[in-house]
Amino acid sequence: MDKILYLECASGISGDMTVGALLDLGADRDVLEKALNSLPDRHFKVEIKRVVKSSVDCCDFNVVLEEDPHDHDMQYLHGKHHEDASDYHEHHHHGRHLSDVYEIIDSGEMTDDARNLAKKMFRIIAESESVAHKVPVEEVHFHEVGAMDSIVDVISIAVLADNLGVKETVITKVCEGRGTVRCQHGILPVPVPAVSNILQKYGIPLSIMDREGEFVTPTGIAAVAALWGGKTLPESFRVLKTGYGAGKREYDGPGYLRAMLIEEVDTCKDAQIMKLETNVDDCTGEAIGYVMDKLFEAGAFDVHSSPVYMKKNRPGWLLSVICSEKNRKEMERIIFRETTTIGIRRVPMTSTVLERTFRKVPTVYGEATVKVCKTSEETRYYPEYESVKKLCEKSGDSFQQVFRTVIAAAYNGKEAIHD
C-alpha cells in the first residue's frame, strides 16, 4: 500500500516550511543539494538547521540570496518567511516569465517526475496570476514568486516529494490570517488574489484564523494544489513518520508546518457491501472472463462465476459480484453492457473486515509485497500474487519456491518489515 503524505496546515503553509517538513520526514538531503548545485544561477546558498518552535524541534530551511549582477535591484530580507509578508512583498521587485522559470527548472539535475512537479507548481501560480491581472499565462510577469529564493523552494519541494515516493497527498484544511498585506501591486487583502484564485480553482478548504497577517503564500498553496488530489484523511491510519518545517517568526500558537507519512489501516469492523447476481445461458466462457476483468478494474471487491443448469436444462453461468454501494450502478452498467442478461439481483449485506496493511519484505529474490492481516489472536502474512509473479519471472524459479521464500521472510523478519 502506498504511503500517503498528510500536510497539516494549521499555521498556514509556505515554500520554506514545506521544504523543512519534507526534509524532517527523511527525504535525502544529498539528492536535494545535488539538484540545487546543478542550477545555472548560483547566487544563493541554503541553510538547513534545527530550531525550536512552540517547544517543538523543527527543521528550518532558509535560502540566502547573494549579490547577483542580474538581480541588482532586488533586496533580500534575511530570514524571509510567509509570516513576514509585508516586508517580504515590499523587497522583491525582480520578475521573470514562466518560460524563464521553466528554463531554470530544465537545467537542474532531477528526475522527470520532480521536474514535471516543479513546472506544475509554477504553472498553477501563473494561471492564478493570469486570472488576477487578465493577461495570458505566457505573459504573466512574476515578481515575488519569480525571485530565485522562491524558485529554489519550488524545486526543493518537487525533488523531496519525489524522493519520498509520495503518490498521494491529503489535507483537511489550510488556515490563513486576516487583514491586508503590502506587495508589488499595492495593498491587497489576505488571502492575496494569487492564493484566492488557487483556492477557488482547486477547491482547497480554507479556515480563517483570528490572527493578523499573511500565513499562506502562493508558493505554499501551489504546492498543496499540485500535490493534493482532493482526497481527505482515511478513517483510520497508521503514522509512519512525522516532520516539522519551521516558520521564521514567533507567535502565540504553533509556527510550523506538520507533515506526516501515513498508511491507511482497515480495522476489524462491519462494512456495508452489495452483492449482485445474474444468471445467463447465452454467454460464452470468454465473455464471462472478459466481464470479470472489467468488473475488477472498476473496483469490485470480488467477482466469481459458477456453472449452473437453468430452465429446460440449459447450461449457463451464475455471475456474482461483491462491491460497495457507491459502485453498484457502475457494476450493473458493465454487466448489462458486456453480457446478455436482462436483469440483475442485488442484496445489501454486512461484512466483517479484518485489519489489513501491506508491507515490503526483503528476500534473496528482491523486495516482495505481503498483505498483513491481524486477528484478535495472531498476525498473518500473505504474499501478493503479482509481486511473487514478478520475482518468478526475474529469477526463473517456480512459483511455489518463490512463494515459500517470501512467506518465510515475512514471518522471520516480522519486526523489520514494520520499520
Cell output for 106: 530544465
Number of other residues whose CB lies within 10 A of the CB of residue 343: 8
Rg over CA atoms, the chain: 27
For CA atoms 5, 252, 180, 140, the dihedral sign is: negative
- Mean pLDDT, rounded, of the chain: 85
This prediction has a pTM of: 0.62
pLDDT of 322: 96
Per-residue confidence band for 213, with pLDDT thresholds at 50, 70 and 90: confident
Which domains can be identified in the chain, with CATH numbers?
4-264 (no CATH), 269-353 (3.30.70.1380), 356-418 (3.10.20)
Residue 399 has pLDDT above 80, yes or no: yes
Residue 19 has pLDDT above 50, yes or no: yes
**166 in helix, strand or coil?**
coil
Residue 283 has pLDDT above 70, yes or no: yes
Residue 285 has pLDDT above 80, yes or no: yes
Per-residue confidence band for 67, with pLDDT thresholds at 50, 70 and 90: low
| Mean pLDDT in residue range 92-100 | 70
pLDDT of 311: 87
In tens, the pLDDT along 147-168 reads: 788 899 999 999 999 999 988 9
Residue 62 has pLDDT above 70, yes or no: yes
In this predicted model, which residue has the larger pLDDT, 416 or 150?
150
Nearest residue to 63 via CA among 126, 18, 116, 96: 18
pLDDT of 184: 67
Per-residue confidence band for 358, with pLDDT thresholds at 50, 70 and 90: confident
Longest dimension (CA), the chain: 91
